[in-house]
Every structure is written in C-alpha cells, then in structure tokens.
Amino acid sequence: MEKLVGACMFGQSGGPSSVINSSAAGVFTEALKQTDCITAVYGAAHGIRGVLNEEFYDISQEDPKELALLKNTPSSALGSVRYKLKAEKVDDTDYKRLLEVFKKYNIRYFFYNGGNDSMDTCNKVSKFMKKSGWECRVIGVPKTIDNDLDVTDHCPGYGSAAKYVATTMMELKLDANVYDTPMITVVEIMGRHAGWLTAAASLANVKGLGADLIYLPEVAFSTEKFLADVEKKMKQNNGKCMIAVSEGIADEKGTLIAEKMNENIAKDSFGHAQLGGVGAALANMCKEKFGCKTRAIEFSLMQRCGAHLASKVDVEEAFRAGQAAVRYAVKGTTDKMVLIKREMSNGKYKGKIGVMSVAKAANTEKKVPLEWIINDGTMLSQEYIDYALPLIQGDCKAPLEDGLPRFAKLKKVLVEKK
Amino acid sequence: MEKLVGACMFGQSGGPSSVINSSAAGVFTEALKQTDCITAVYGAAHGIRGVLNEEFYDISQEDPKELALLKNTPSSALGSVRYKLKAEKVDDTDYKRLLEVFKKYNIRYFFYNGGNDSMDTCNKVSKFMKKSGWECRVIGVPKTIDNDLDVTDHCPGYGSAAKYVATTMMELKLDANVYDTPMITVVEIMGRHAGWLTAAASLANVKGLGADLIYLPEVAFSTEKFLADVEKKMKQNNGKCMIAVSEGIADEKGTLIAEKMNENIAKDSFGHAQLGGVGAALANMCKEKFGCKTRAIEFSLMQRCGAHLASKVDVEEAFRAGQAAVRYAVKGTTDKMVLIKREMSNGKYKGKIGVMSVAKAANTEKKVPLEWIINDGTMLSQEYIDYALPLIQGDCKAPLEDGLPRFAKLKKVLVEKK
C-alpha cells in the first residue's frame, strides 16, 4: 500500500458519552505521532457541520497534558451534531462542499466517531470521495451507550453507562429498603429500540441489589401483565418492588407505552395528570392500583455523562479504538469501522480491535437476543451477565482537584480559513 | 464521673445518606471496644420503633470486616423510621414502654443518628429517662444532607451529597454544551426549607462548569424575575442556560412554586399538563416562553445515596462522630448531640468533634445566610465556596468486586425477646 500524505480530520457526532473523548484522545495522540503521513491534525467543531463550514481546530496547538485528560472527560469536547447527509442523488450540495474542503486542506484521512447515523455519514463520505477520485481513507470509530451497532461485540460508551446503571441501582435498592412500608420504585433508563442499557440493571443482581423486574423494548409490553408482575413481586418481597424500564417499551402494535399512557391521561383528564417519561406514568399507575408509595426516577443525562463512574475497560477500549483507527488508515485501510472482538482466555476477557465494513455498521441495529430475556420477559439471563460484566470492570476517572474532577481544557484554536 | 455499666442501643432515623452507616461503623466499633462499660451492643431495627417493638440486632455477632465495610455503604443498614414521639403530657405510652425495654435489657447508653426530628426523639428520651431515675446516657449523632442543624459547623452527610451535586453539575454542563443550539436545563435538588444542597451547584463554578443561575428557598421566588434572569443568561451564554433550583423554592407568601404551578396547570388545563417537581414545571415554562429545547433533571434519591461519590472528609467525620458519641458517653456526657467545629490552620481545614445541647439541636433550623446569596438571589458568594469546598475533599468508596461496589452485608441477628 502506498504511503498517503496529508491532513487528518476527526469529528464527534451524535449523543455524548463518558468515553467519546477517550476515543478522541486515542485519535489525536496517535495522529500527532504519525508525522510521516499525517501533516496536520484537525478536530471538526460540531462534527460534519464543522467540516462543511470550515470550522475546525488545530490539534497540534493543544497541550499534550490536556489531550491526555480528554480520556476522562465526558461529553464531546469538540462539540457534536445531529446532521444527516442527504442521499447524493437527492442533493449533492454537501458532498461537493466536502470535496472542496478536503481538497483545500489536503484532507486525506477522515475519522468519525458515533453511532449508526454517524457511520452512515462515514459511509457516504467514503463512497463519494472514492467516486470523485479524491484519495481519502475513511474510518469510523464506534460510540454509543445504546450498544446497538452490529458485528462489533459491543460499543465503546456502553460499559461506562452500564456501570453507572448497575452501581446506581444498587445504591437505590439500599435506599428503597430503608423503611419497612410498601414502596414501588420505577427507574427509567435510556434506550429507544434496544434494551442493552436497561438490561444493565440486572448486573446489580450479581450483588443481590438489583431490579426485581426489568422491561426492555425487545418484548411487547402489556400494562395488565406489568401490574400482575408487580403484585407478585410485592408479595414475595415484603411490599417492595424495584423496576427498571427502557424509555422505549412499546405494546404489541409497536406503540410507545409513554405515548399511550399520556393519551389516556389526556382522555380521562383525571385530577393528577402526568406527562413525561414512561417511568413516571407507570409509577402513577402503580399508585392508583396498589395505593402505596411509589417513586419514579430518571437516570436522565447522568447515565451517559457520569464519567466519574466510567469503566476502566471501556475507557481503555475507547482510547484504543481511536488509536487503531489512525494506525489502520495509515497502513492503507479505508471504508471501515473499527470494532471490538471478544477474546476469552482462561476465563479472562480481552477486547481485541478489528475492522468491519462501515456500510454494514450504518445499516444494522443489534438488539438484546430474545433468549437472554427470561422470567416471562422480566429479567436477564446469566448469558447477559457473562456478556456485560467484563465490560464494567475497573475504575478510571479524572484526577481530583479541589475535590472535583479535573477535566480537559482545550484551547480550540480555529484553523484559519483558506 | 462514676462508671456506668450496661448495654448500648443505637438507632438510625430519618432519610438515609451516603454516610449514616459510617457513623454506625464508628458507634459499633468503639462500643465493642469499651468492654469495661458496655456489656452489649444493640442496633435497633428501624430506629425508635425497633426499640418499642423489642426488635434489635446483636452487633457482636457481626463480622468486624463487614462492620468496617459499613463505612462505605449508603443508606441505613439497620432500617430507618419516621416516627415522632408524642409530647409526654399528651401521651406517655411510648415513654413508659421505652423505660420498660431499657430496664429489661439494662440499656444504659442510647445513641441516635439523624436530623432535627431524630434529635427531638433523643431529647425526649433523655429527659424522660432522667425524670424516671433510670440512668442512661443519651447522645445524638447528627446526620442530614440538608445541613440544617444549627450550632454544628455542618452535618455529616452534607459533604458527600454536595460532592454528588457539584460533580454531576460539571458533567451535565459538559453534556449540555455539546450542541450549539439553544438549550435550557433545570436541575431540581433536594432541600425543602434550607438551600444548602442546591448551593453546592455553585461549587462546580470553581471548575468553570457550574450552574448559571441558582435558586434557594431562602429567597422569595418570582417567576417573572426568573424568566428575565434566564433570558439575560441565554443572551450572555450563546443560548445556553443551566439552572439549579431547590425543590422548596416558594413565593413571597411562602407558597411552594411547585404547588402553585401545578395549580395553574389544573386551572388552565392547557394541553401539556405536567405535575411533579418544580424543575419540570419551570422547564415547561421556559419552553413556552423561549420556544427552545429544555430539559428538567431531578437528582432524586441519587444525591443522597450516591456513595460512590462520597467525600472522604465526610465519611471520616461521620465515622468519628459515631466513635466520639460512645467515648463521650462512657466518660459521663449525656443529653448532648455531637457536633463538628471548623478549625483552620495554615489555610488547612480540620473538623474537630465537640458536643452541644440536644434540646437546642432539636429545635433550630439553620439556613444559608442571606449575605452569601448574591447576584440578585441567583448565585452563591465566595464565602459559601470557602465554607463548602473543604467538605467535599477526597474520595472514599467501597472496594470494587465484579466491577461493582462491595457493600456491607450484615447478619442482623435479632436479640431474643426477654
């Protein structure tokens, strides 16, 4: 493979996670080392939009110490974006503009960090550059707390979010058990289509402090069955029930329970209306039915940005994924997404980096296997525990300063427009 | 002071915290050492009710390793209770029963861990035992994330909850800044009457990542002024605004804003009804007014049970407070609450343990000084930062096992009823 010399562009896209910046740290530190091939390292402001607008930072200006701190800084340090490139045959304006910018700055390496939609962007950019005869190596770096990218064993971002969910469930369970009066707690966890993150509530069961009932979008949700499940658990557990639900649970027709329940409320217009998440709606329903204390809790943004609870395995894998993207590209790989393969030796987990077709990554969605969802759709099996537990191992967080995390502070020096 | 020989009873009361069990660890380990005076160490199941019902655990049966793990186990390991003893002259049934139990088990030391209401229990028990001629040394151990007990510089539980609030605010701020579109985030924090915990949102400003606006119950809240404040901040901050509000904010007449806004909603019955916290209500109001993306976040129970983010200073002080209660009592002190005095030497903070009248602790409530609330009631002054920052220093959490916290597992062997 011939040596390709030019600038590299890195962008962050989609919802933030605890480790998306760790991948950035991996890309940047490796790219800055590859001085033979990579002549400049750019970080796009707000993903692909920064490229289109010629707004990107000169990463060589950054203090290496701050780049290292990125590893433990949550969210997207460069800014993110939700911007879908139209199909080229519908509108090729953006593509032409990208080619123009790539040529102007001699961009020969394009790295993009995100989930399915970001891999779609990667794929489209890759195909267009190839068609246009502009040699540019394109590698996607996976990231999503949803863990729904296919082929890769799991996605960077998932382990840390899962660790947040499992640890916090344990703490909440201890809190919920404090009074000996009946109490139903409904915890709402992110995940529109795939229940991976909600499934992590079952990891707390390894320590005997998990959710009693777990509902994922993979299984059609019935409110009647739900109430029966809760009643049974309350009888077993001295009036207590701890429930974890995916925000995306839906009925057998695919209608979101959150939407359905809010509709009913609007129709009935009974006194205590309650919009908002499905967790609050289900807690309300339990209150009506069982007349006991209920509490709805949303993990909200904390589950995706709680870097103080990041998993060491996850932080390191995210870093290595970024690093590997650069190494693969320099060696000639293009049109791929980095993935993680699971290797077990002597019962010890190891995540090995590989690559897959970026087109495939863009267009598939991985759900929790149905055979891992047991107890009549209310619990995860040992297979899931075995799958997820290695991913939440170890602590890795920002150093403390004034008792608070010392996150990276980038200078973000904009590259002068040509 | 004559040596007093007999059993000791310890109870946990009120809402849990990250460090209430650390105080328990302090009481238990010290009491088990004082074999000259303390003949048995009992832990009441669900506080004073466990005493009334003769339901308490024999702590000498516990593995010392598990008692040590209590230091980093959130919530109330013995179970808690919200039970107010009636005034003796109204109904002395409970008092007579307590005396009976104290005599039956020769309870000569009574330690009770909690906030104002628990100190009220302590005070009443102390006065009644004295009046009845039953020599029993009574010491309260303070605990409250609300930090509203007077005389003591601060309360065990506050530092850890404040660290949770400050750290999480920083992470949320990074998350909220990811897209360059306008966005208002309203974070609701515990505190019905005193704004101490919400004030901790300002600590994140030390790292440049705090709340832009902070509203405490100490200052009358006006929705008109609030909207004007938000508008101003959005102009300054490129359309972003991060707000922290106490659940207990109220208008100039003392009416809770949460109640008021829900009332209005009921009256107007406009489409998107929203009950629940004041944070959600204010976020909704901002959405109507500014038409931009808003998000309401509740720290809910996580702020009080998030022991994975406990402050080392807090965990240690809670432990020492429990330990000191036993030492004071053995030396003859009674009718007191343990307190923490602030000592500064060479700019370094040290918490020194002392005692104060338990009656005084029961009947006072400490609020955030108005002179510490600046910027027209929207921010905390440097005096607050100087006060609170030493309390959130250092990490101290449960050891990891399977990547998850290893919390204490007590046997909880019930003492056989006599």
DSSP output for B91-127: --HHHHHHHHHHHHTTEEEEEEEESHHHHHHHHHHHH
Q: Looking at residue A272, what is its pLDDT?
A: 38
Determine the residue among B305, B385, B387 to mutate to test chain A binding: the one whose Cβ has the most chain A Cβ atoms within 10 Å. Answer: B305
Residue contact A46–B179, C-beta within 8 A: yes
Angle between helices B20-33 and B312-330 (to 10 degrees): 40
**Per-position DSSP letters for A165-185, written without gaps between them:** HHHHHHHHHHHHTSSSS-EEE
DSSP secondary structure, B167-205, as one string: HHHHHHHHHHTSSSS-EEEEEEE--SS--HHHHGGGGGG
Across the interface, of A79, A172, A394, the residue whose CB is closest to B180 is: A79
Q: Please list the alpha-helical segments (H only) found in A237-277.
A: 257-268
Q: Is A348 an 8 Å CB contact of chain B?
A: no
Q: What is the pLDDT of residue B274?
A: 39
Q: Hey, is A380 helix, strand or coil?
A: strand
Backbone angles phi, psi at A46, to 5 degrees: 55, 55
State the pLDDT at residue B347.
87
Q: Given the structure tokens 């007191």, which residue do they identify? A: B336
* C-alpha closest to that of B196 among B393, B391, B397: B391
pLDDT of residue A332: 97
Cα-based torsion angle of the residue sequence B190, B196, B199, B204 in order, rounded to the nearest 10 degrees: -90
B186: closest CA of chain A, how far (Å): 12
Q: Which residues of B touch A311 (CB under 8 A)?
A: 403
Contacts of B308 in chain A (CB under 8 A): 167, 171, 308-309
Q: Do B203 and A404 touch (CB under 8 A)?
A: yes
Kindly write down the DSSP assignment for every residue of A319-374, as one continuous string: HHHHHHHHHHHHTT--SEEEEEEEEEETTEEEEEEEEEEHHHHHT------GGGEE
Q: Please indicate whether, in this complex, the C-beta atoms of B174 and A75 are within 8 angstroms of each other.
A: yes
Query: Among positive and negative, which fits the CA dihedral B190, B195, B200, B204?
Result: positive
Residue in B163, B298, B311 closest to A298 by CB: B298
* Residue appearing with tokens 């995860």: A380
Q: How far is CA A174 from the centre of its chain?
A: 27
In this complex, the residue of B16, B171, B178 whose CB is nearest that of residue A307 is B171
Backbone phi and psi for residue B138, each to the nearest 5 degrees, phi listed first: -115, 125
Identify the pLDDT of residue B277: 85
C-alpha span between A368 and A371 (Å, rounded): 9
Is A146 in the active site? yes
Pick from A18, A145, A164, A175 the residue to mutate for testing the B interface (most B CBs within 10 Å).
A175
Mean pLDDT (chain A) is 94
- Interchain contact, A273 vs B276, CB within 8 Å: no
Q: Which run of H or E residues covers position A280?
A: helix A278-290
What distance in Å separates residue A135's CA from the closest CA in chain B?
A: 31
**Alpha carbons B354 and B359: distance in angstroms, whole number:** 15
All residue ranges of chain A with pLDDT < 50 are 265-275
Q: Is the minimum CB–CB distance between A272 and chain B shorter than 8 Å?
A: yes
Which pLDDT belongs to residue B270?
Answer: 36
The pLDDT value given to residue A158: 98
Low-confidence ranges of chain B (pLDDT < 70): 1, 262-276
Which stretch of DSSP H or E encloses residue A297?
A: strand A293-298
| Largest separation between any pair of C-alpha atoms in chain A | 72
pLDDT 10s digits, B46-91: 999 999 999 999 999 999 999 999 999 999 999 999 899 999 999 9
Catalytic residue among A146, A153, A314, A335: A146
Min CA distance, B308 vs chain A (Å)? 8
Q: What's phi and psi for B360, nearest 5 deg? A: -65, -40
Among B122, B43, B33, B109, CA closest to B76:
B43
Residue A364 pLDDT: 81
Contact A333, A137 (CB under 8 A): yes
pLDDT value of position B276 = 56
| pLDDT value, residue A270 | 36
pTM summary value:
0.96
**Is B386 an interface residue toward A (CB < 8 Å)?**
no
Range 151-170 of A in CB contact (< 8 A) with B: 163, 166-168, 170
Contacts of A300 in chain B (CB under 8 A): 295, 297-298
User: Looking at chain A, which residue has its C-alpha nearest residue B75?
Assistant: A175
Tokens matching residue B294:
């808003």
By the 10 Å C-beta count (0-12 exposed, 13-18 middle, 19+ buried), A193 is classed as middle
A393/B403 CB distance under 8 A: yes
Tokens of B311: 């402050």
CB B304 to CB A265 under 8 A?
Answer: no
Helices (H), A15-133: 20-33, 47-52, 64-69, 93-104, 116-132
Read off the DSSP letter of residue A53.
T
CB proximity A276 to B under 8 Å: yes
| Residue B252 at interface with chain A, using a CB cutoff of 8 Å | no
Contact A276 B272 (CB under 8 A): no
Tokens 């109330």 locate to B76
Closest alpha carbon within chain B to A406: B207
Cα of first residue to Cα of last residue in chain B, in angstroms, is 31
Q: In sequence order, which residues have a C-beta less than 8 Å from that of residue A229 and are 6 or more positions away? A: A213, A376, A378
Query: CB distance from A389 to chain B under 8 Å?
Result: yes
A351: contact with B, CB 8 A cutoff: no
Nearest-Cα distance to chain A for B176, in Å, is: 9
Task: Give catalytic residues of B, as residue numbers.
Answer: 146
Predicted ipTM of the assembly: 0.96
Residue of B nearest to A174 (CA): B75
| pLDDT score of A277 | 85
Q: Which of B183, B301, B387 to mutate to probe the A interface, most A CBs <10 Å?
A: B301
